[in-house]
Chains A and B, each alone.
Chain A
């Protein structure tokens, strides 16, 4: 019999993200988002059966039999109850202020104030050292009052940087009340990485260590981070996924190991 007490880092990240979804919330996923998709599927099968899932911003309440090879292709929206059209449906609901309050997002660079960069590495926007994929819906989500949950399977000083090269998506800008002054509500709430869970201090809006994953030290997290983290006097340990969560993820939700591949778990 399989031992579900053992877990892999993708499983811990899925469980941690899943815990952020409240029953009845509306959530959606973007492309190449295997861990968020598995987290949604896990929440639906555990504490949040009434979670509303807009799969790939296109299929409402689908029932894929497992995490598919793409989080923006057909097997994902099997048995949907509705097909959303992006221009007239999805973005209307996303902008309304009445729906879709929480988003799981990834970024090539995230800085100490939660500003995100998916645009360019380098100083010259028009002659970048690296052209990244682009902001997609991120620049909207960051400005439209959403709660952003960042996830990062590779916590290192190049992905968590002191200052992003380019603000594709506003976090707390220079910190303090800079975001408020622009009239922007919402913003980055949590960062879930392969090493730790982080949030933002209420006043300074600087990134703060909230919990370290089992077996990871505060020093290791700080070392893997490109700026000085706020570290509370006592840092908790991130809860491990339960045996039932591991079983569901491994045997039911992601038997093909898409999340493991995404997290670099061999």
Chain B
């Protein structure tokens, strides 16, 4: 499953979606807001999303992942709106029989997320300034 939400993200809320009696390995990735980016202090980040397209691209990432790793279960959730320091902006869960595929699928999903999802960060700095990540900086 995949979704976009404004809620606080917790791994345990999504664990049941990847549980399977025949799966022995669950890998989860949490991307959290950190206090520095390219040398500049950050105290929170606003995540903006082109939601219609983001959901279409999430579906594509899910299809690509299940084609490459047919036996896994996966969860991909991105939070949008204002995210505070050390809160999570993304959670990715993968499960499979053995750990190798759970790790590989999880890394693959994150690589595709970074390439495909139309989501943008506006960093809020302690001095009150803001800047869009990845352009004009």
**Chains A and B belong together in one complex:** no
Measured CB to CB, the residues of B under 8 A from A are none
